Amino acid sequence: MKKKMVSMVVAAAMITASASSAMVQAEASEKVTISILCDLERANVGTGGLDTGFYAALDEWTEAHPEVEISLESMNQTDYQTKITSLGAANDMPDLFMLKGSWTKNFVENGWIKDITDNLDADPEWKDGYIAGGFDSATYDGRIYGVPRESLATGLVFYNSDMWAEIGYEEFPSTWTELLDAVEKFKEAGIVPFVMGNKANWPAESCWLSTLGDRFTGSEWTHSIINGEGAAFTDEEFVAALTCFQELAEAGAFNEDINSLDDVEQNTVYFNKTAAAIVNGTWFFATVDSSAPDDVKAATKLALLPSVEGGADANTVSGGPAWFFSVSNNEMDETKTELVMDLLKYVSDEHQADVSASTGIITAWANPTYDDSNVPALFNDYNELMKTTTVVPIYDATMDAALIETMNTGLQSLLIGEITPEELAENIQFEYEMAQ
Amino acid sequence: MKKIADRRGTRLAIFLCLLPALAIYTYVVIVPIIGAFRYSLFNWSGGPNMKYIGLKNYQMLLKDKNFWAAFLNNLKITILCVFGQIGIAFIFSAMLSSRFIKLKKLHRVVAYFPSTISAVVVGFAWSFIFNYDYGLINVILRAVGLNDWAQAWLNNPDTIIGVVCIPLIWQYIGYYMVIIMAAMSSIDPSIYEMAELDGASGVQRALKITLPLIKNSIGVAVMLCIAGNMKIFDHIYVMTNGGPGTSSMVMALQVYKTTFVKNQFGYASAMSIGILILSLAIVGGSRVLINRPWRKERDF
Give the residue extent of every domain in chain B.
67-290
Quick one: how far is CA A391 from the chain centroid?
A: 15
B71-119: pLDDT as tens digits: 999 999 999 999 999 999 999 998 888 777 788 888 888 889 999 999 9
Residues A200 and A137 in one domain: no
Of residues A279, A261, A278, the one with CA closest to residue A200: A261
Q: ipTM value of the model?
A: 0.80
Residue A357 inside a domain? The answer is yes
- Which residues, listed in sequence order, are joined to residue A130 by a DSSP beta bridge? A365
Q: Which domain holds residue A68?
A: 33-151+321-368
Residues A115 and A181 in one domain: no
Q: Which helix (H) or strand (E) holds A330?
A: none
A265-307: pLDDT as tens digits: 899 999 999 999 999 998 888 889 888 999 999 999 999 999 9
Nearest CA in chain B to A89: B46
In chain B, which stretches have pLDDT less than 50? 300
Query: Distance (Å, rounded) from C-alpha A147 to C-alpha A134?
Result: 8
| Contact by Cβ (8 Å): A225, A427 | no
Partners of A274 on chain B (C-beta within 8 Å) are 133
Asked if A401 lies within 8 A of B127 by C-beta distance, the reply is no
Which of B46, B49, B244 has the CB atom closest to A85's CB atom?
B46
Residues A190 and A118 in one domain: no
Q: What is the DSSP string of A258-321?
A: TTTS-TTHHHHHHHTTSEEEEEE-TTHHHHHHHHS-HHHHHHEEEE-PPB-TT-S-SSEEEEE-
Partners of A257 on chain B (C-beta within 8 Å) are 131-133, 152, 154-155
> Taking 50 as the threshold, does the pLDDT of residue A5 lie above it?
no
> Taking 70 as the threshold, does the pLDDT of residue A388 lie above it?
yes
**CA-to-CA dists, residue A202 to A233, A396, B30, B261, angstroms:** 18, 8, 37, 12
HSE of A217 in the Cβ direction (CA atoms, 13 Å)?
Answer: 30
Asked if B154 lies within 8 A of A260 by C-beta distance, the reply is yes
Reported CATH class of domain B67-290: mainly alpha
Residues A125 and A43 in one domain: yes
Which of A81, A110, A274 has the CB atom closest to B47's CB atom?
A110
Total domains in chain A come to 2
Give the torsion through C-alpha atoms of A283, A254, A160, A287, to 10 deg.
20
Partners of A82 on chain B (C-beta within 8 Å) are 260
Residues A359 and A310 in one domain: no
Position A366 confidence tier, pLDDT thresholds 50, 70, 90: confident
Of residues A418, A410, A107, A104, the one with CA closest to residue A233: A410
Query: Distance (Å, rounded) from C-alpha A340 to C-alpha A190?
Result: 56
DSSP A174: S
DSSP A131: P
Q: What angle do CA B43, B47, B50 make, to 5 degrees?
A: 30
Quote the minimal CA–CA distance from A405 to chain B in Å.
Answer: 7
Residue A379 inside a domain? The answer is no
Which of B45, B49, B245 has the CB atom closest to A412's CB atom?
B245
pLDDT of the residue at A339: 93
- Which residues, listed in sequence order, are joined to residue A302 by a DSSP beta bridge? A158
Q: Which CATH number does the domain housing residue A105 bear?
A: 3.40.190.10
Residues A271 and A393 in one domain: yes
Question: Global pTM?
Answer: 0.83
Residues A69 and A105 in one domain: yes
Residues A48 and A116 in one domain: yes
A77-104: pLDDT as tens digits: 888 988 998 898 888 999 999 999 888 8
Query: Distance (Å, rounded) from C-alpha B256 to C-alpha B234?
Result: 11
Query: Distance (Å, rounded) from C-alpha A166 to C-alpha A157?
Result: 18
3 state DSSP class of B56? helix
What phi and psi values does residue A374 have, to the nearest 5 degrees? -100, -10
| Contact by Cβ (8 Å): B119, A380 | no
Q: What angle do CA A282, A287, A293 make, to 5 degrees?
A: 130
Residues A65 and A113 in one domain: yes
Residue A315 inside a domain? The answer is yes
Residues A304 and A328 in one domain: no
